[in-house]
Chains A and B, each alone.
Chain A
Amino acid sequence: MKDNKNTDKLLRDKLNGYESPVPAGLFEAIDAQRKEKKSKPLLPWYAAAGAAALTVIAVGLFFFLTETEKENAVQTTDRAVVTTENPTVTAEENSFEINKETAALPSEKSPAIIVEAKTDKTAAVREKTQTITEHKTATAAENKINFIADEKPAVQTEITPVAVTDLEDSQKDFTETAENTPEDTPIAEEKAVLTAEEKAARENIVVSPLASKDFFNTDTRYAAMPKIECGWESRKLYIYFDALTSLDMAFRSFDVRSPESAAYATLRNETEQIQESFSVGFRASVVTANGFAVRTGLNYSKIREPITQRIYEEEARIITTENEFGEVLSIDTIYETNILEFRGRNSHKLLDIPLLVGYEFDRPKYNFAFNTGAYLNILARQQGSILNPAGEIVSIDSDNRNRYNVFKDNVGLSLFGSVAVNYKITPAIHFIFEPYARYYLDSFTLDSHELEQRYFTAGMQVGLRLKM
């Protein structure tokens, strides 16, 4: 033991003080590598995650704001319909102003609000058709369409897209009509009580379904809308944000690119096992009132494959037995077998953008959904070691410059399908159970490699959904 300590000290002193000759250019390489790392302010997947998150938020805000504006527009229409019922009008007070600028808005961009009206009481107006266009995203005040609620002529006004000149003529006609209307027309006392539909029925007014407060009730919304073209923007949209995590199993297959590689495929299959994998991600969904959904977000998944390889080493020891005179009595050979076991933790790390469509059934306590689509891979990285065709253990670390470079850094598209059951903890927060399956269309390995390495993963996603 003492001998060992002396020798250890000798070795330590000798080696600790020794300076190995350093090759030229190593400092420059270090400096360059540091600069390279500094010039990357964000890692690629963080940049991608940020971009995807911004996209999702932008889409969400767009639809959310569109909804708000649409509601404003509907309120304006309500008011317009009610005011046409008022039988009393004075020339001064019936100011129906149409701003040129508003009227000149492209008609194809503003089909949502259409109000028709015809007059039975005023001959001058009856013979003409008043046509006004109102942009759906503008408020009544912005459009300068001013109905004076209590002093409106009993006219039915048809509002459809027209040219500016027509509008100017119409404005003139309207003024004339107002002047010819008797001032002593009885004031309608029921104005505050009747709904737009009831008044329309009494006065034969064709009321836009958009003016109805029940428009978003799916049972009544299509009841009477003969002249309405109901576009995407006229439907109610819901925005959801999902945070998901899952436990997966990854099923791998090796396909040989040439018959000579069959033995290598067998070797890889024997040494690399399948282990449970996992993924995490977030997702944003836009769902229409009739259940169609579009989803996107960001997903990180890790496919894990432990590798075990036993290497047998045989060592021969020759033992010579001598007698006291130094004569050799016997020579024995002892064979010792050492087993070196290599154990590695291989993994494939993937960052994907899900692009999904789905359909949802909404129930009071649950929500059921079917989803399908593709995951677009934006980054694939490997960690660990595998056996090369020569049977040597080689690194596949993406960070290792000297790695056995056979894996792609982008594995392309994978097909995705899932069935989800969402339990509504509260109306705004749902718990998600979502079994899914995913198939990678492309091989993870480069075309130059002997084997095609493909994956199919299946698992159970769980998470929380937030309704906006």
Chain B
Amino acid sequence: MTEHDLIQGCIREDKDCQRELFNRYAGKMLTVTRRYARHRPEAEDLLQDAFIKVFNNLKKFEGKGSFEGWIRRITVNTALKNYNKSSFQKENIGLPDYHDSPVDAEAVSNLTEEELLKEIAQLPEGYRVVFNLYVIEGFSHKEIADALGIGESTSRSQLVKARKLLQEKLAHFRTLLGFAFMALGFWLK
């Protein structure tokens, strides 16, 4: 079934088409909501809300751009709305300027997706949202500032802190991994 047929079927409220559409995109969108949510149940709630909006607004999809991108945008907006309901705002008081610290690319490539998601989920909420919007969604700091109702400088500093924290976590993970390999080597000997 083509994407167009699937969409038309969903508009007609065809249950099979709706299920097929859900099966096709739910996994990827759950990855999106897991990046924003504090825990798995919240991510599933967000996914549920997002797909209700998708099904209710399918008529509005004009076919411009990718359908997956349209669903992803709805999912991200649902997550942001949830975040904005209980907005954390970060104030820097007496902190030195942070220099942008790069995240170790090798560590990123070595980690599985689940491990990466787990590390991102452990970031403080404000950092996590900014990190997701900037790094994964490709928002600019101005767009992030508008979406979250914070200053651009706040967005920048939160991104830097998020990278730093993630770098530390990945380094820690890498150390543990190194120890594990060493232990394995000794054991094999």
Residues of A whose CB lies within 8 Å of any CB of B are 1, 3-4, 6-8, 10-12, 14-23, 26-27, 29-31, 33-34, 37, 336-344, 383-385, 393, 395, 397, 401-402
Minimum distance in angstroms from A180 CB to a CB of chain B = 87
Instruction: Flag if A15 contacts B113 (CB, 8 Å).
Output: yes
Residues of chain B lying within 8 A (CB to CB) of residue A27? 18-19, 22-23, 26
Residues of chain A lying within 8 A (CB to CB) of residue B156? none
23 contacts between A and B (CB under 8 A): A4-B100, A8-B135, A11-B136, A12-B136, A18-B31, A18-B117, A19-B30, A19-B31, A21-B27, A22-B26, A23-B44, A26-B22, A31-B15, A34-B55, A337-B93, A339-B93, A340-B91, A342-B86, A342-B87, A344-B86, A385-B86, A395-B86, A401-B45
- Which B residues, 92 to 113, have Cβ-Cβ distances below 8 Å to chain A? 92-95, 100, 102-105, 108-109, 113
Residues of chain A lying within 8 A (CB to CB) of residue B87? 342-344
Residues of chain A lying within 8 A (CB to CB) of residue B51? 30
Q: Secondary structure of the B side of the interface?
A: helix
Instruction: Determine the distance from Cα of A387 to Cα of B100 in the docked complex, in whole angstroms.
Output: 35
Instruction: Determine the distance from Cα of A30 to Cα of B44 in the docked complex, in whole angstroms.
Output: 11
Return the chain B residue nearest A311 by Cβ. Answer: B88
Interface string of B41-77 (1 = CB under 8 A from A): 1101101100110011000000000000000000000
Residues of chain B lying within 8 A (CB to CB) of residue A344? 86-87
Residues of chain B lying within 8 A (CB to CB) of residue A21? 27, 30
Known: A14-B116, A19-B28, A26-B47. A338 touches B108 (CB 8 A): no
Residues of chain B lying within 8 A (CB to CB) of residue A34? 52, 55-56
Residues of chain A lying within 8 A (CB to CB) of residue B47? 22, 26
Instruction: Determine the distance from Cα of A6 to Cα of B102 in the docked complex, in whole angstroms.
Output: 10
Instruction: Determine the distance from Cα of A308 to Cα of B126 in the docked complex, in whole angstroms.
Output: 16
Minimum distance in angstroms from B119 CB to a CB of chain A = 10
Instruction: Determine the distance from Cα of A393 to Cα of B88 in the docked complex, in whole angstroms.
Output: 11
Residues of B whose CB lies within 8 Å of any CB of A are 15, 18-19, 22-23, 26-28, 30-31, 34-35, 41-42, 44-45, 47-48, 51-52, 55-56, 85-95, 100, 102-105, 108-109, 113, 116-117, 124, 126, 135-136, 138, 163
Instruction: Flag if A402 contacts B108 (CB, 8 Å).
Output: no
Instruction: Determine the distance from Cα of A133 to Cα of B31 in the docked complex, in whole angstroms.
Output: 84
Instruction: Determine the distance from Cα of A29 to Cα of B117 in the docked complex, in whole angstroms.
Output: 25
Return the chain B residue nearest A397 by Cβ. Answer: B85
Residues of chain B lying within 8 A (CB to CB) of residue A401? 45
Instruction: Flag if B48 contacts A15 (CB, 8 Å).
Output: no
Across the interface, B86 reaches (CB within 8 A) one of A8, A12, A393, A402, namely: A393
Known: A339-B91, A340-B88. A18 touches B28 (CB 8 A): yes
Known: A15-B116, A34-B55. A20 touches B30 (CB 8 A): yes
Instruction: Determine the distance from Cα of A195 to Cα of B52 in the docked complex, in whole angstroms.
Output: 76
Return the chain A residue nearest B34 by Cβ. Answer: A20
Known: A11-B116, A339-B91. A30 touches B55 (CB 8 A): yes
Known: A30-B51, A397-B85. A15 touches B56 (CB 8 A): no
Minimum distance in angstroms from B143 CB to a CB of chain A = 16
Instruction: Flag if A7 contacts B104 (CB, 8 Å).
Output: yes
Across the interface, A10 reaches (CB within 8 A) one of B27, B56, B105, B163, namely: B105
Residues of chain B lying within 8 A (CB to CB) of residue A20? 27-28, 30-31, 34, 117
Minimum distance in angstroms from A386 CB to a CB of chain B = 11
| Extra contacts besides A7-B105, A339-B91 (10): CB < 8 Å | A4-B100, A10-B108, A11-B135, A22-B47, A26-B22, A30-B48, A30-B51, A336-B95, A341-B88, A402-B45
Return the chain B residue nearest A21 by Cβ. Answer: B27
Residues of chain A lying within 8 A (CB to CB) of residue B135? 8, 11-12
Minimum distance in angstroms from B178 CB to a CB of chain A = 19
Known: A26-B47, A31-B15, A33-B52. A338 touches B90 (CB 8 A): yes
Instruction: Flag if B28 contacts A4 (CB, 8 Å).
Output: no
Residues of chain B lying within 8 A (CB to CB) of residue A17? 28
Instruction: Determine the distance from Cα of A108 to Cα of B35 in the docked complex, in whole angstroms.
Output: 77
Instruction: Determine the distance from Cα of A384 to Cα of B104 in the docked complex, in whole angstroms.
Output: 39
Known: A4-B103, A14-B113, A30-B52. A341 touches B31 (CB 8 A): no
Instruction: Determine the distance from Cα of A383 to Cα of B84 in the docked complex, in whole angstroms.
Output: 12
